[in-house]
């Protein structure tokens, strides 16, 4: 009984603590962003020495705030919402509007594609009514709609939004600066090999 009371008290205390405000979270993220900043700085020197036109930027404070926001989102179990608020605007247009399509099942998704086609038909933008077109044509119109609305191709939209996966979307965010820097290192190496 005493262990249960201690557990409840600990849970109550944790619910009152904002994880991003804890010294351990701030120290861990401070250390990570320091390493990212140092790597980016060293890479800027390498790019300059190689006389390449590659622009590298790193805003340590912004990166730290995003990571601390993720820490809170994980604790609050709102990672999807956080991603669409914090990362989504960098990836697609109208992320809040796009979020309604996360996890849509296959049948519902196909119905959505047909609704988009129908709206274009109602507006007189397409030549044939939906009953007379192939699924491929419905997909072409949906691709056009998604590109104009969200700034992604239909396959990109499906991969990024419809099939949104916490792991697949968070991993690139976590490794963002390091992965970008690794890519630049490869570009510099390729440039050096070509000379």
Tell me the per-residue pLDDT of 101-127, one tens digit each, with 9 for 90 and over. Answer: 999 999 999 999 999 999 999 999 999
> With pLDDT > 70 as the criterion, what percentage of the chain qualifies?
93
Summarize the confidence of residues 31-40 as an average pLDDT: 96
Can you give the pLDDT at residue 4? 72
**pLDDT higher than 60, residue 54:** yes
Tell me the per-residue pLDDT of 6-29, one tens digit each, with 9 for 90 and over. Answer: 666 656 655 578 899 999 999 999
Tell me the per-residue pLDDT of 161-188, one tens digit each, with 9 for 90 and over. Answer: 999 999 888 988 888 899 999 999 999 9
Q: Which two tokens stand for residue 112?
A: 């959505």
**Rounded-to-integer distance, Cα 147 and Cα 158, Å:** 12
Angle CA(62)–CA(64)–CA(70) in degrees, nearest 5?
105
**pLDDT higher than 60, residue 43:** yes
Can you give the pLDDT at residue 152? 98
Tell me the per-residue pLDDT of 74-91, one tens digit each, with 9 for 90 and over. Answer: 999 999 999 999 999 999
The CA dihedral of 76, 173, 160, 20, to the nearest 10 degrees, is 10
Q: Which two tokens stand for residue 61?
A: 């404070």
**pLDDT higher than 80, residue 190:** yes
Can you give the pLDDT at residue 17? 80
Backbone CA torsion sign across 90, 92, 97, 103: negative
- Residue that is written with structure tokens 């995003």 in the block: 66
- Whole-model pTM? 0.77
**Average pLDDT score, the chain:** 92
DSSP line for 33-61: HHHHHHHHHHHHHHHHHTT--------HH
Helix (H, G, I), strand (E, B) or coil at 160: helix
């Amino acid at each position: 009984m005493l262990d249960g009371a201690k557990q409840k008290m600990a849970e109550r205390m944790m619910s009152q603590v904002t994880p991003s405000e804890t010294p351990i979270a701030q120290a861990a993220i401070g250390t990570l962003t320091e390493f990212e900043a140092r790597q980016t700085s060293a890479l800027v020197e390498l790019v300059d020495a190689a006389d390449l036109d590659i622009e590298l930027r790193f805003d340590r404070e912004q990166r730290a705030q995003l990571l601390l926001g993720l820490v809170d989102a994980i604790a609050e179990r709102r990672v999807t919402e956080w991603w669409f608020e914090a990362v989504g605007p960098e990836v697609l247009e109208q992320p809040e509007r796009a979020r309604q399509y996360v996890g849509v099942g296959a049948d519902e998704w196909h119905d959505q594609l047909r609704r988009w086609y129908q709206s274009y038909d109602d507006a007189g933008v397409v030549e044939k009514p939906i009953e007379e077109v192939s699924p491929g044509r419905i997909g072409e119109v949906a691709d056009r709609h998604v590109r104009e609305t969200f700034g992604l191709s239909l396959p990109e939209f499906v991969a990024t939004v419809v099939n949104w996966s916490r792991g697949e979307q968070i991993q690139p965010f976590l490794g963002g600066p390091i992965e970008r820097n690794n890519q630049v290192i490869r570009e510099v190496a390729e440039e050096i090999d070509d000379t």
